[in-house]
Amino acid sequence: MIRTEIHTHPHVATHMPSLAALRMTVFRTWPYLYDGAIPSEVDTLSGFAVSKTACLIIASDNGTPVGASTAVHMTEEDDHITKPFRDAGMSLSRICYFGESVLLPAYRGQGIGVRFFEHREAHARTIPGVDTTMFCAVERPAHHPLKPADAIPLDAFWTKRGYVRTDLTCVMKWKQVDTQEKVGNTLRYWSKSLV
């Protein structure tokens, strides 16, 4: 039986090992191709673990974590996430940022991803002044050599949730399964108004 639990500050920190393990497993596959390691995961998640507005949703199958999703007020996000908004003169205080949403393949298509969005949007509404939710997703060339033949873009899923593709992008660097060093990757922001 799949159980969904919602954790907020200060209780998210104890669940970082589960989140890190899921990130390393899911993000290693298409389209992120992330070749991660525990030390870098710990560093990446350290800020989120202590964020006052952090929200972590974990889906478990008989006690074993199979998926996780995060949200946090944009004012508590890292500079590389907030830079496009600051450069555009946008107010960070109005935005709740949705971070990773990772789910093991065997559990997809069962409505868990939909619940992740519902829980995060409900959390966003509890943050004073927030009227917008946003997330970003990596963009890959249509004919990338590592793209699986059966890969299905998530654009339709996000659009159905009410999200709109924006002109805002950011660049994040990580080591990929097909690279020796960290490389820059462009991620596109998607937005939804809560009003």
Q: What pTM did the predictor assign? A: 0.95
CB-based contact 176:34 (threshold 8 Å): yes
Q: Which residues contact 57 (CB under 8 A, 6 or more apart)?
A: 4, 5, 6, 7, 68, 69, 70, 115, 116, 119, 120
CATH number at residue 95: 3.40.630.30
Domain range spanning residue 89?
Answer: 2-193
Give pLDDT tens digits along the chain (195 positions). Answer: 899 999 999 999 999 999 999 999 999 999 999 998 888 888 889 999 999 999 999 999 999 999 999 999 999 999 999 999 999 999 999 999 999 999 999 999 999 999 999 999 999 999 999 999 999 999 999 999 999 999 999 999 999 999 999 999 999 999 999 999 999 999 999 999 999
Residue carrying structure tokens 């946003």 = 134
Q: Which residues pair with 6 in a beta bridge?
A: 57
